[in-house]
Structure 1
């Protein structure tokens, strides 16, 4: 495969799908990752109707077996992976930390933290073969400890223990992987796409998927002089 390649998890809808569409328009071959085969293939068909080359990859961030098989399937189709976007995530439970069960919290961490770690590890052999490998972890401003501890910030009132802390943990994952690969061509960053109208929030978000996907895609497209180990939104770097 001569084209640059991108794997996006949770890409059958929302920000993931629109990011796939935008990068596909930039000439990338899209490996569209999704749990549901029917929905994933429908999304691939929609991309192909726009002239985008894409293939469905079954991958569930909470299922290690699908992660391993996805890596094998991609390796059978291409010798390298240029971009990995860990977009798959699940939403928050209640807003009162003392009332959230450990089972609820654990289920969110399986998808939002442990999943991206396993996916990065599984895809690293392919990413390291790319001239300019890129990893983008889709995080949230709700994971910023600075925002969470500032009573004047708009995010202060959102207090779900499971979701917020999982994104804080994902930010730490980003920093630690970036440290490991500092000095190499592989760049790893976290992105806050903003409060976007998606199924995750019953379409109550204030940003469109087109706008937010553009923020994600820009980090995937950074050049050799781009950052690594950072946390960014549509306006630039934001505090941890």
Structure 2
């Protein structure tokens, strides 16, 4: 049954046609929000939107490629016309171009990963900020990962339990991109805290995705719970934090 807890609120979730982004979009809509489901593939995005609408949820498709500024601008224009504002932005769209060691990483993989995972977050955030500023309680959630933690990598110890001690992944493009996501999260949090816009980085933890062969220690719904909570924080909520979803639903702080 759909809750009316956040009835009238409007959210945008990028990369939401599948995986944890799709679960986040559904859970936000189940709270009573109008959710714009962002996807670069029109057919897949339309299909995913239809599936959620069939559940009685107010989900609408936003054709949006985070690497294309024109595409993002058109999506913002459409959301402005239809909804007038945004109360929550979840930057979820991401790619993983291989999990190679630093010495074996092609520069093109690094460039492609940053184009979506970092520059895409900045493009969407900057373009949607005028809409977020129309809200009385705007929230921005940047989807990150434990592999973006420099502290965890340096200690070679994963507090989430995904990787055994001494076996933290030695990969470059994805780790660097998520470390950059953490950095931009802090920068935006500091810029926007005076306006009451809360900005946080959240890892959904190891959930089944195409990038990891659909393996995971949490389900997609479990991984989506914390991003949804951070997207609907009260005014007294935190900003500039880095947390990871846990099976108990409480979440856990991660070191930068």
SS of equivalent residue, structure 2 residue 200: strand
For 2:185, the equivalent position in structure 1 comes to 174
In the aligned structure 2, how far is the partner of 1:165 from the partner of 1:236? 22
For 1:144, the equivalent position in structure 2 comes to 149
Structure 2: 5+ residue stretches without partners: 1-6, 246-250
Query: Does the 8 Å contact 2:185/2:199 carry over to 1?
Result: yes
Deviation at 1:217, TM superposition (A): 0.5
SS of equivalent residue, structure 1 residue 189: strand
For 1:128, the equivalent position in structure 2 comes to 133
TM-score, length basis structure 1: 0.96
1:33 aligns with 2:38: yes
In the aligned structure 2, how far is the partner of 1:103 from the partner of 1:95? 12
TM-score, length basis structure 2: 0.90
> Number of paired residues?
239
Query: Does the 8 Å contact 2:99/2:174 carry over to 1?
Result: no
For 1:233, the equivalent position in structure 2 comes to 244
Give a deviation string over 1:19-71, Cα, whole Å, max 9, x none: 11111010000100001111111111111111101111111111111111111
1:70-85 → structure 2 map (5 Å cutoff): 70-85=75-90
In the aligned structure 2, how far is the partner of 1:167 from the partner of 1:23? 24
Deviation at 1:184, TM superposition (A): 2.0
Query: Does the 8 Å contact 2:97/2:112 carry over to 1?
Result: no
For 2:68, the equivalent position in structure 1 comes to 63
Farther off after superposition, 149-158 or 173-182: 149-158
Deviation at 1:92, TM superposition (A): 4.3
1:42 aligns with 2:58: no
Structure 1 residues 80 and 152, CA gap change in structure 2 (3 angstroms): closer
Structure 1: 5+ residue stretches without partners: none
Query: Does the 8 Å contact 2:142/2:181 carry over to 1?
Result: yes
Query: Does the 8 Å contact 2:157/2:168 carry over to 1?
Result: no
Deviation at 1:216, TM superposition (A): 1.0
